[in-house]
Amino acid sequence: MRFYSNYLLRKSRTGKDGSCPIYVRILLNSKRVELSTGIRVLPDKWDEVHQVLLGEYHEVHSSNERLRKIKTILIDIYNRFVSSGKDFDVVDIKNEFLGKSYSKGVLEVFDYYLKTIENNIGHGYAYRTLKHYRVSRKKLAVFIQSQLRKKDIPITAVDYNFLNQFDMHLKTEYGVHQNTAWNYHKHLKRVMNLAISMEYIQKSPYNQFKTKLEQANRDFLTKDELHRLETKSLEIDRLSIVRDIFIFACYTGLAYSDISKLSPRHIQKRDDGNQWIIINRTKTKSQCSIPLYPNALEILERYADYPESLLKGRVLPVASNQKLNSYLKELANICNINKNLTMHMARHTFATTVTLSNGVPIETVSKVLGHKSLKITQIYARVLENKISDDMMAIKGKLGM
């Protein structure tokens, strides 16, 4: 380790009497912090080379003695940290000098953040948010253990190099997509911002380390595939129920989390005489107003007296998302749909095949989907442009052009 300290004048903070404050700059492994010594001096009374005040006055001797003592203390602190065998950086030396507590561990701060989410479930946070953050915490802990051979590291040690190694670890060890890695970084970034708020660190390493969110492919069912799924004769009740729930999602744009809590109170008759779904989205808390298409209304009527629905006070007998997605794989095979059928694909199908491709304005689609930004909805519009391009190229091939 390379440890070094020196004094400098802060001329940018010159007082009315012309004096400038003396700061001590501490450097360790190319990182540095600066601390005020509490001493001021006129620029022409400061010897930059020998790092002392000039003059023979008692105050000058006293100040020079104080500067020598500060350097001695800093060296002692550095030697103590080295002897302890613990990880430390220049911020730890600064905190020790100022009498502040030791640096919190990054996992320690992460756990505090998790506790905050857990205590606010239903009040701004959903349980699945907690689950996602727990996964991110686990991935981070595995990285620290496997790559750094430690149970935790000081949050002050989380720098650009650490984040870059964590990013590579996620992609090589778990084979995650760029957007999945971005999501893990999003969670850690919020933990780092919490550390700033709690004054454990001065700035976030994410100011330097940037992660990009790549354009994701929004797969959806075509009109033909949707019709094939709707009209397929199914003899297994389990698959028939799952098919109805999926089709209902295709004609309402609701996510699984919203459909699973949909109750009779969410179905309301509006001034236009039609039945509407009025619900606050689980994810964004924004209110959605969705007119019920005849296809969706028919499904609701089919399960109006269904025992399981009545027992749970829901309009549809919705199983867990994991089970639904598993059963949807079976449905895809039965209906010869060569796509990874999931509940979320129904939401994409609503945005593209059901609405945008039938001339519904993108602003309306965005409102129905409960998007907070039109930019999110525009992703589906770009998907449609790609679809148009593919269709036109197919025609070109048929015409031998």
Q: DSSP state, 356?
A: G
Instruction: List the domain boundaries for the chain.
Output: 3-98, 106-207, 223-398
From the options 1.20.1730.10, 3.30.70.20, 1.10.443.10, 3.20.20.10, give the CATH code of 223-398: 1.10.443.10
- The domain 106-207 is classified under which CATH number: 3.30.230, 3.20.20, 1.10.8, 1.10.150? 1.10.150
Q: What is the CA radius of gyration of the chain?
A: 31
**pLDDT in the model for residue 281:** 76
Write down the pTM of the prediction. Answer: 0.56
Instruction: Report the alpha-carbon distance of residue 366 to residue 372 in Å, rounded.
Output: 8
Q: Which segments of 29-77 are extended strands (E)?
A: 31-41, 46-47, 52-53
pLDDT at 304 over 80: yes
The predicted-structure confidence for 261-291, as pLDDT tens digits, reads as follows: 899 899 988 888 888 988 887 766 667 788 8
| Residue-wise pLDDT tens digits, 122-168 | 777 878 889 999 999 999 999 999 998 888 988 888 999 999 999 99
Burial 92-108 (b: 16+ CB within 10 A, else e): bbbbbbeeeeebbbbbe
pLDDT tens for each residue of 20-44: 999 999 999 888 999 999 999 999 9
Q: What are 174-187's pLDDT values in tens digits?
A: 888 888 999 999 99
Torsion, CA 79, CA 80, CA 83, CA 84, rounded to 10:
-150
Predicted confidence at residue 374, as pLDDT, reads: 73
The C-alpha atoms of residue 399 and residue 381 are separated, in whole angstroms, by 27
Q: Which helix (H) or strand (E) holds 143?
A: helix 127-148
> Distance between CA 257 and CA 242 in Å, rounded?
15
Task: Supply the pLDDT for residue 125.
Answer: 80
